[in-house]
Amino acid sequence: MKRSREEAASELFAALYPRLAGWCRRLVDDDGTAHEIASEAFTRLWARWTTVAEPRGFLYVTVANLVRDHWRKLERERRAVRRATAEAAVRPATEPADPSVRLLVQSLPERLRVPILLHYYADMPIREVSVLTGRKEGTVKADLHAARELLRAHLRRSVDHTL
């Protein structure tokens, strides 16, 4: 029995790790960090192996959460550097907002962020996002629409500030 569990985990790893790590790579823009996050997701799955009904969904949602934590850490580091820099130099009165889509996606509420990450960054169809998030397809579509509208509004404001 133990052997089959390990074989199943090994097959799942071989089948999903490359795509999962590649998805992470696109989100965090760093190979090492992407592999750390993907590996951590598999470690967490292994710890809960007997209780997880949908391993693939568990992995993608776990990675989305770990990426969010990574982005938060980076933002805290950026703020600390900006504060340190501000003390050493005079800053302009207004600083344009960062129009980076990654930062904007990061700022979305989790309810909107996870479907965006799964649908647009992991190339999953709406039906699959629906299954993985436990939401109806119509709800996923509405969440994707709401997220796009928020992103569009943020991008417009960012462009207006830079003109």
As a whole number, mean pLDDT of residues 16-40 equals: 93
Chain-centroid distance of CA 2 in Å reads 33
In 3D, which of 102, 101, 107, 109 has the Cα closest to residue 159? 101
CATH code that applies to domain 95-162: 1.10.10.10
Using a cut of 0.85, tell me whether the model's pTM lies above it.
Answer: no
For the chain, which residues make up each domain, given as ranges?
1-93, 95-162
Give which of 67, 53, 68 is closest to 132, Cα–Cα: 53
Percent of the chain with pLDDT over 90: 37
**In 10 A of CB 32, how many CB atoms?**
9
48-85 residue pLDDT tens = 988 998 999 999 999 999 999 888 888 877 776 666 66
* The token pair that represents 127 in the structure block: 């039906």
